[in-house]
């Protein structure tokens, strides 16, 4: 099995001035987007060795996440242990990928558990991401949201997932949204900023496209579909909208922005569809954790199950799979 790994880090998105003419010119063809996504699994079939390799790629692009009301330090430490070794040792040896030092893209927790996660992942190189700014609704007062970001960064978080104020999108107040994200970016300092749009609540593809563009202009390092708490989370069509805005932004500014679908991605088959979409729309560089992440901890269970089937030709019982979180 041959897997290409790269350690190059793209230059961070510096942002641009707010360009209202560019935003107003954005148009989206709903039916064309849906037709494009409907053909993905039909035109591309990944089997056997190639499927196993792409599933390992999915694993490396995963943000292991626990964002439950009953989280505890013990649960966070168990999650971090899984992040350090996401597959069982015998499975790693059977696949012949021991030298790859497989690990996930990051561990994502609430602010209260950032220090716990940082200590558990010490010397592993796995970054800790913190959800901030009144997650999942993002309606806390602005000074409190800024303070929360700074506190998470001080505690050791290297990535900050923030929730935008959706009311600005509904009102078309792009200046207010731009100023908000710019302030969050400044508060992050060296930490990378992921902006959560809450696409299931934005109403139209055009709103999603415009919000994506404003976030990138304001300096977001990643744009992210959802909190995972909405009734509708990441879908292929809405992801395609955001991906095409990333491509347009790259073509015009030369700046790279990452993408993170989150919520509802639980099967290995789904992860392959997103990887195919990234490869075809943005290219090889967006198959690395520096520019692409899955926000889906439940996905790891099915990936491990499919890899075990690849090795043994048998599906393991559900009770043999690791505990998952949400």
pLDDT band at 4 (very low <50, low <70, confident <90, very high): very low
pLDDT tens-place string over residues 203-229:
899 999 999 999 999 999 999 999 888
Query: How far is residue 209's CA from residue 257's CA, in Å, rounded to a whole number?
Result: 14
224 has catalytic annotation = yes
What homologous superfamily does CATH list for 21-320? Aldolase class I (3.20.20.70)
57 has catalytic annotation = no
pLDDT band at 20 (very low <50, low <70, confident <90, very high): very high
pLDDT at 228: 83
Active-site entry in 161, 210, 221, 302 = 161
pLDDT band at 26 (very low <50, low <70, confident <90, very high): very high
Query: How far is residue 249's CA from residue 270's CA, in Å, rounded to a whole number?
Result: 26
pLDDT tens-place string over residues 57-66:
999 999 999 9
What angle is formed at CA 189 by the lines to CA 251 and CA 85, rounded to 5 degrees?
A: 85
21 has catalytic annotation = no
Query: How far is residue 194's CA from residue 223's CA, in Å, rounded to a whole number?
Result: 6
Helix (H/G/I), strand (E/B), else coil: 171: helix
Residue 79 CB neighbour total at 10 angstroms = 27
pLDDT tens-place string over residues 90-116:
999 999 999 999 999 999 999 999 999
pLDDT at 233: 87
pLDDT at 23: 97
Q: Is the pLDDT of residue 231 over 90?
A: no
pLDDT band at 8 (very low <50, low <70, confident <90, very high): low
pLDDT at 86: 94
Q: Is the pLDDT of residue 6 over 80?
A: no
Q: Is the pLDDT of residue 5 over 60?
A: no
pLDDT tens-place string over residues 67-93:
988 999 999 999 999 999 999 999 999
Stated as kind and residue range, the H or E segment containing 109 is: strand 106-110
Active-site entry in 57, 82, 210, 260 = 260
Active-site entry in 115, 194, 210, 224 = 224
Query: How far is residue 106's CA from residue 96's CA, in Å, rounded to a whole number?
Result: 24
pLDDT band at 232 (very low <50, low <70, confident <90, very high): confident
Average pLDDT, rounded, for the chain? 91
Q: Is the pLDDT of residue 257 over 80?
A: yes
Greatest alpha-carbon pair distance for the chain in Å reads: 57
Average pLDDT rounded to a whole number, residues 150-177: 97
């Amino acid at each position: 099995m041959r897997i290409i790994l790269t350690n190059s880090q793209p230059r961070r998105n510096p942002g641009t001035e707010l360009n209202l003419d560019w935003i107003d010119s954005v148009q989206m063809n709903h039916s064309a987007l849906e037709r494009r996504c409907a053909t993905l699994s039909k035109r591309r079939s990944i089997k056997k060795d190639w499927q196993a390799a792409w599933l390992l790629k999915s694993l490396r692009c995963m943000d292991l996440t626990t964002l439950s009301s009953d989280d505890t330090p013990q649960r966070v430490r168990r999650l971090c242990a899984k992040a350090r070794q996401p597959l069982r040792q015998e499975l790693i040896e059977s696949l012949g990928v021991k030298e790859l030092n497989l690990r996930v893209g990051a561990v994502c927790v609430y602010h209260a558990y950032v220090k716990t996660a940082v200590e558990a992942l010490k010397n592993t190189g796995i970054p800790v991401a913190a959800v901030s700014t009144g997650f999942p609704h993002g309606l806390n007062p602005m000074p409190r949201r800024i303070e929360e970001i700074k506190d998470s960064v001080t505690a050791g978080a290297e990535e900050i997932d923030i929730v935008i104020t959706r009311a600005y999108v509904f009102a078309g107040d792009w200046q207010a949204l731009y100023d908000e994200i710019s302030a969050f970016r400044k508060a992050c300092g060296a930490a990378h900023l992921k902006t959560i749009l809450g696409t299931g609540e934005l109403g139209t593809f055009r709103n999603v496209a415009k919000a994506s563009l404003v976030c990138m202009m304001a300096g977001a390092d990643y744009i992210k579909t959802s909190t995972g708490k909405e009734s509708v989370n990441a879908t292929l069509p809405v992801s395609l909208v955001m991906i095409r805005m990333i491509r347009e932004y790259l073509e015009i500014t030369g700046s790279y922005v990452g993408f993170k679908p989150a919520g509802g991605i639980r099967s290995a088959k789904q992860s392959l569809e997103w990887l195919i979409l990234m490869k075809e729309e943005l290219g090889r560089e967006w198959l690395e954790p520096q520019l692409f992440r899955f926000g889906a901890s439940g996905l790891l269970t099915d990936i491990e199950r499919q890899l075990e089937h690849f090795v043994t030709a048998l599906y393991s019982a559900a009770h043999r799979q690791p505990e998952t979180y949400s």
